[in-house]
Chains A and B, each alone.
Chain A
Amino acid sequence: MERINAKVKCIRRPWHLPDSALTPEAHCYRRREFLRVFGFGVAASAILPVTSRAASAGFPDTLNPGYKLEGIKLTPEDLVTSYNNFYEWGTGKGEPKEQANRSWKTAPRTLEISGLCANPRKIDIDQLVSLVGGIERRNYRHRCVEAWSMVIPWDGFPLAKLIDLAQTKSEANYVKFVSFFDPTNCPAQRTNELLWPYTEALTLAEASNELAFLATGLYGKSLRNQNGAPIRLVVPWKYGFKSAKSLVKIEFVAEQPKTTWSEMAPGEYGFYANVNPNVDHPRWSQKSERVIGGGFFSGKQPTMIFNGYEKQVAHLYAGMDLRKNF
């Protein structure tokens, strides 16, 4: 019996390989990455110039070491590009990926800079990128008001650089961000579901903060339509809805502008919308958040004040009652 077993063990199948011949797991995954970057890149370069209107200047960029978020896991790219709140393209999280990639050719490639500034202009986004000195990569936490979160590597430039370029007048107190309006290609904009175009705003001090960012890409590629191509705001210490997508206009104004969600439901979404575990949403607690990409039983993680950016932004709200100004 013993001998038979020994013999069975020794039979070498034609497909047998020594362990040393196996490709390390990490390389297997790298292979896919290689194919994605080079394979699709080559294929895309043949098609994209005709159909895509995403901003493409400045890639590849490099990570700004000040915004590395050491030791924090990035949310996988396929989740960042398939789980989106972009009500122009439907209220379901999966809908924007599907709906925004049909006939819509994204917002125009030009961005209008207007209002109380010395240099108002309409500018091509790629041209704007070269004017501000190119783009950089920043890993930012992203906390949605619905109590879920991601960590996203954005590509873009600080909003402060655009403000410098515009040279704001002394009467300017707020910066207003206006998203695209294209009811022909965007059926939801033919209804009054939301106040179109989607409008957001920051105080000039908030907008000038080092963290306020204009993204033209993520994961080293031009923004996908569902993520707000060709250019969007990213303000990581505020709930996600403040980071308006697919911008067509940035305007400097004196009075606090009306913003979409704070007009729709003023009791639920305030103008400031700073991430704050101590101020609940009327329907749910903001103390913790579900990290996208975790499994069924992963639980939630505690939410940090200002989404972990207290050091950079807390001074903006010194003396302010954050419960009132939520």
Chain B
Amino acid sequence: MKILTRIAGSRLAALSLIVGGGIYTLVIPVFAGTLGANPLEALLHRSGEIAIWTLGAVLSLTPLRVLFPGAQIVAALNRHRRAIGVSACVYGLLHVTAHVLYEGGWDGLLRSLSKPFIWYGLAGLSILVALTATSNQFSIRKLGGRNWKGLHRLAYIAAALLIYHQAIAGKGHWHITRWLLFPLAALQAARIAKTLLAKPARVPATNQSPKRVARKTITSGFSADTSMTAMKNTQQEII
């Protein structure tokens, strides 16, 4: 278990999985010619699926942390929030690139922009781009904890837009949506329930210094990287 936690917390392991996954499913098949009869369509679908799953992964981290504050492996995974969040955005941008190539020209591209289906995706991705651009310590300092957190809560709106985009892409098939949306919704519901139920016990917590509250709040956003502190705070809160 300890070694598992170690691996889960390893930056190298996380990066190899995130980048290696892309190389294995997108880059190698291009050069090996194993994308099938419609290679651009394969790239389009694969990049989109990786992007939506990566987004799902990063959004499950906060609920997991709230639900299992003592689990070391959850804390270890939370170290990678920023890396996972940013890569969801990068895979999303690859997905758009594949779409541009698939349409194969300005005419097709402009026509595709007349579809609400495309706009759900673009709107969701625009949010991710904004969050990626502000996923650094400088932006947190510049915006201030409260504002930064508010901004990064847009991740949930992005997720709603993108999951909807994914769902209607499936020709009436809910394979991915089913496996992505329901667990994610369940996790969030459990997290909210836990927070609400914990409220009465938090009466003494009003004495917390505002600074500490701010520090804690930052960590529950899209890609804050101070999860260890957050874990300590949460534990203190529960004690």
Closest Cβ neighbor of A241 among chain B residues = B171
Instruction: Flag whether B199 is at the interface (Cβ < 8 A).
Output: no
Contact flags (1/0) for A241-277 with B, using CB distance below 8 Å? 0000000000000000000000011001000000000
Stretch at the interface among A13-21, A294-302, A304-312: A294-302
Number of chain B residues close to chain A: CB under 8 A: 26
Bound-complex Cα distance A288 to B115 (A):
15
Name the one of A82, A193, A283 contacting B173, with C-beta atoms under 8 angstroms. A193
- With contact pairs A83-B38, A148-B38, A292-B37 given, residues A285 and B104 touching in the complex (Cβ less than 8 Å): no
- With contact pairs A296-B101, A300-B104 given, residues A283 and B172 touching in the complex (Cβ less than 8 Å): no
Instruction: Flag whether B204 is at the interface (Cβ < 8 A).
Output: no
Name the one of B40, B108, B173 contacting A296, with C-beta atoms under 8 angstroms. B40
B38 touches A290 (CB 8 A): yes
Instruction: Flag whether A108 is at the interface (Cβ < 8 A).
Output: no
Instruction: Flag whether A131 is at the interface (Cβ < 8 A).
Output: no
Instruction: Flag whether A49 is at the interface (Cβ < 8 A).
Output: no
A79 touches B103 (CB 8 A): no
B37 touches A91 (CB 8 A): no
Bound-complex Cα distance A258 to B112 (A):
31
Give the Cβ gap from A310 to chain B, nearest Cβ, in Å.
Answer: 22
A284 touches B112 (CB 8 A): yes
Within 8 A of A (CB), among B205-236: none
Instruction: Flag whether B169 is at the interface (Cβ < 8 A).
Output: yes
Secondary structure at chain B's binding surface: helix, strand, loop or mixed?
Answer: helix
Contact flags (1/0) for B154-190 with A, using CB distance below 8 Å? 0000000000000011111101000000000000000
B37 touches A282 (CB 8 A): no
Within 8 A of B (CB), among A82-104: 82-83, 91, 93-94
Closest Cβ neighbor of B45 among chain A residues = A92
Within 8 A of A (CB), among B1-56: 36-41
Closest Cβ neighbor of A79 among chain B residues = B37
Name the one of A94, A264, A287 contacting B111, with C-beta atoms under 8 angstroms. A287
Chain B residues within an 8 Å CB radius of A133: none
Contact flags (1/0) for B105-127 with A, using CB distance below 8 Å? 10110011011011000000000
Chain B residues within an 8 Å CB radius of A293: 37
A83 touches B36 (CB 8 A): yes
A297 touches B101 (CB 8 A): yes
Chain A residues within an 8 Å CB radius of B39: 296
Chain A residues within an 8 Å CB radius of B102: 290
Chain B residues within an 8 Å CB radius of A288: 107-108
Chain B residues within an 8 Å CB radius of A290: 38, 40-41, 102, 104
Chain B residues within an 8 Å CB radius of A300: 103-105, 108
A82 touches B104 (CB 8 A): no
Closest Cβ neighbor of A80 among chain B residues = B37
Secondary structure at chain A's binding surface: helix, strand, loop or mixed?
Answer: loop
Name the one of A93, A287, A298 contacting B37, with C-beta atoms under 8 angstroms. A93
- With contact pairs A299-B105, A300-B104 given, residues A83 and B171 touching in the complex (Cβ less than 8 Å): no
Bound-complex Cα distance A264 to B117 (A):
19
Bound-complex Cα distance A94 to B169 (A):
18
B175 touches A91 (CB 8 A): yes
A82 touches B105 (CB 8 A): no
A284 touches B115 (CB 8 A): yes
B105 touches A93 (CB 8 A): no
Give the Cβ gap from A84 to chain B, nearest Cβ, in Å.
Answer: 9
- With contact pairs A82-B37, A83-B37, A283-B115 given, residues A298 and B172 touching in the complex (Cβ less than 8 Å): no
A282 touches B175 (CB 8 A): no
A282 touches B104 (CB 8 A): no
- With contact pairs A265-B172, A282-B117 given, residues A148 and B41 touching in the complex (Cβ less than 8 Å): yes
Closest Cβ neighbor of B43 among chain A residues = A296
Give the Cβ gap from A305 to chain B, nearest Cβ, in Å.
Answer: 17
Name the one of A265, A283, A297, A299 contacting B169, with C-beta atoms under 8 angstroms. A283
Bound-complex Cα distance A79 to B173 (A):
25
Within 8 A of A (CB), among B105-153: 105, 107-108, 111-112, 114-115, 117-118
Bound-complex Cα distance A82 to B40 (A):
16
Give the Cβ gap from A167 to chain B, nearest Cβ, in Å.
Answer: 38
Give the Cβ gap from A288 to chain B, nearest Cβ, in Å.
Answer: 6
Chain A residues within an 8 Å CB radius of B111: 285, 287
Bound-complex Cα distance A148 to B39 (A):
12
B108 touches A285 (CB 8 A): yes
Chain B residues within an 8 Å CB radius of A83: 36-38
Closest Cβ neighbor of A78 among chain B residues = B37
Closest Cβ neighbor of B111 among chain A residues = A285
Would you give 27 A-B contacts (Cβ < 8 Å), ordered by A? A79-B37, A82-B36, A82-B37, A91-B173, A93-B36, A93-B37, A93-B41, A148-B38, A148-B41, A193-B173, A282-B117, A283-B115, A283-B118, A283-B168, A284-B112, A285-B108, A285-B114, A287-B111, A288-B108, A290-B104, A292-B37, A293-B37, A296-B39, A297-B101, A299-B108, A300-B103, A300-B105
Closest 5 CB pairs of A and B: A299-B104, A83-B37, A285-B111, A283-B117, A79-B37
Known: A93-B36, A93-B38. 14 other contacts (CB 8 A): A82-B36, A82-B37, A193-B173, A264-B172, A280-B115, A283-B115, A285-B108, A285-B115, A290-B102, A296-B101, A297-B104, A299-B105, A300-B103, A300-B104
